Amino acid sequence: MSSRLVLVINCGSSSIKFALRREGDSQPLLSGLAEQLESPSACLHWKAGNEKHRRDLPGADHQSALAALLPLIGAHAGQPLSAVGHRVVHGGEHFTGASLIDDQVLQAIEASAPLAPLHNPANLVGIRAAMQVFDQVPHTAIFDTAFHQSMPVHAFRYALPDNLYRDQGVRRYGFHGTSHRYVSRQASLMLGKPAGSGAWLTAHLGNGCSSCAILDDRSQDTSMGLTPLEGLVMGTRSGDVDPNLYAHLYRELGWDIPRIENLLNRESGLLGLSGLSNDMRTLEQAREQGHAGAILAIEVFCYRLARSLAGLTAALPRLDGLVFTGGIGENSALIREKTVEHLPVIGLRLDPQSNRQLPRGQAGQIQQPGSPSILVIPTDEERQIADESLALLDAPSA
């Protein structure tokens, strides 16, 4: 029997990211992006091996963009799909793992929409369109929040009146779960442990950033909360601020809620601190040239990350290692070095030479002898989604 194929889909409000994966392969057969959907400049980009392609799809909506994928998949797959795996941002408390999508699951995703108003409705549009286009195949949903459903109550509750949790679902959910799970599993394999065993701190550092404490494949605590704004400094998101900032800005400046939401989500983080950019590469270059804002942004980013990681050790019985991932974690030796400099108290010591010499895009170990492992592991959320989708189909109850 040839190995199975999974199409992984991540739908935004005007875009669809996709990857066609063969079971067991480290690289996708086909991957790409349909963007600017429902506009005259809608188009489809895809990559197969080293070849890049582009096709204009003026005015295409999610369904017609997915229909345009059908012949591409036919050309590259050579066999029917076994599943379509969808990334869904918020699963509320309904979902602790991958789920086969049926009417009940669609309703539950809809019910979680108030918790992720920008993401869940877009994910649903994509799921419904894909179910029409790929109507002979099981569809699965893998939720960013599901991995963190193992957090104990003392980690997921806010110190707020109980009814806000009971009636409104106000609690900490956490995000980036697929990435945290993938890299912690890879970390155990790299150190020769059984897959999914060990006590890890993971730092997913992309445009959004979050940290996580993981024990034996179960999230114990994470830096993001009710929404992906809580926690670390990010590209344009502030991460933690005093919750009274809302009242302060309202009283002092007369700002309304949308204005403050925009400030905290789109004008803050690395961009706000540096006054220059949300892009770490740009900030590293500017830092070299002595740009004060870039220097400050990098210092705050690393200190706040280190503080979060040190705090998360409270959720672990011991520490086997720290994993860096995401665009910044995988590529920035500077950020890794400056972050670990703040962490000698938890025994972490980085080897500057192996840190700087680690080739981009490759996994490796960068600790000094005697330190818990410090690992760099490229994340692969699509692979994790494909694996979880197939594991779900293999499960006895599927």
112 in helix, strand or coil?
coil
Question: Is the CB of 346 or the CB of 385 nearer to ligand ADP?
Answer: 385
What are the E-state strand segments in 144-300? 199-205, 209-215, 218-222
- Tell me how far, at minimum, the Cβ of 295 lies from ligand ADP, in Å: 15
337 binds ligand ADP (CB under 6 A): no
The crossing angle, in degrees rounded to 10, of helices 333-340 and 292-312 is 60
Q: Which residue has the tokens 């492992």?
A: 373
Task: Give the 3-state DSSP-derived string for 264-275, with helices as H, strands as E and coil as C.
Answer: HHHCCHHHHHHC
Choose the stretch contacting ligand ADP; rule: CB under 6 A; options: 60-68, 142-150, 186-194, 279-287.
279-287
Choose the stretch contacting ligand ADP; rule: CB under 6 A; options: 86-94, 109-117, 223-231, 275-283.
275-283
The token pair at 284 is 């590293």
Which entry of 25, 144, 279, 394 is annotated as an active-site residue?
144
Closest residue to ligand ADP, Cβ-based?
Answer: 327
Question: Which residue of 332, 365, 367, 371 would you call a contact of ligand ADP, by CB under 6 A?
Answer: 332
The CB-side HSE value for 350 (13 A sphere, CA atoms) comes to 26
CA 170 distance to own-chain centroid: 21
Question: Is the CB of 217 or the CB of 279 nearer to ligand ADP?
Answer: 279
**String marking each residue 150-189 x if it binds ligand ADP according to CB under 6 A:** ----------------------------------------
313 binds ligand ADP (CB under 6 A): no
Question: Is the CB of 193 or the CB of 281 nearer to ligand ADP?
Answer: 281
Give the CA distances from residue 300 to residues 204, 227, 232, in Å, rounded to whole numbers and listed in that order.
17, 21, 10
- Tell me how far, at minimum, the Cβ of 128 lies from ligand ADP, in Å: 25
Question: Which residue of 193, 251, 281, 356 would you call a contact of ligand ADP, by CB under 6 A?
Answer: 281
| Structural contact between residues 315 and 220, judged by C-beta atoms closer than 8 angstroms | yes
- Tell me how far, at minimum, the Cβ of 100 lies from ligand ADP, in Å: 27
Question: Which residue of 13, 14, 63, 207 would you call a contact of ligand ADP, by CB under 6 A?
Answer: 207
| Structural contact between residues 11 and 123, judged by C-beta atoms closer than 8 angstroms | yes
Question: Which residue of 121, 169, 327, 352 would you call a contact of ligand ADP, by CB under 6 A?
Answer: 327
* Partners of 375 in beta bridges: 323, 365
Is 144 tagged catalytic?
yes
DSSP state of 197: -
Question: Is the CB of 323 or the CB of 346 nearer to ligand ADP?
Answer: 323
Question: Is the CB of 196 or the CB of 327 nearer to ligand ADP?
Answer: 327
Residues in 59-88 at the binding interface with ligand ADP, rule: CB under 6 A: none
Choose the stretch contacting ligand ADP; rule: CB under 6 A; options: 80-88, 129-137, 276-284, 289-297.
276-284
- Tell me how far, at minimum, the Cβ of 290 lies from ligand ADP, in Å: 18
Q: At 394, which helix (H) or strand (E)?
A: helix 381-394
Helix ranges (DSSP H) in 237-380? 245-253, 257-266, 269-274, 280-288, 292-312, 326-331, 333-340, 352-357
In angstroms, rounded to a whole number, what is the distance separating the alpha carbons of residues 34 and 42? 7
Residues that bind ligand ADP (CB under 6 A): 206-208, 235, 279-281, 284, 326-328, 331-332
Any idea which residues carry the catalytic annotation? 144
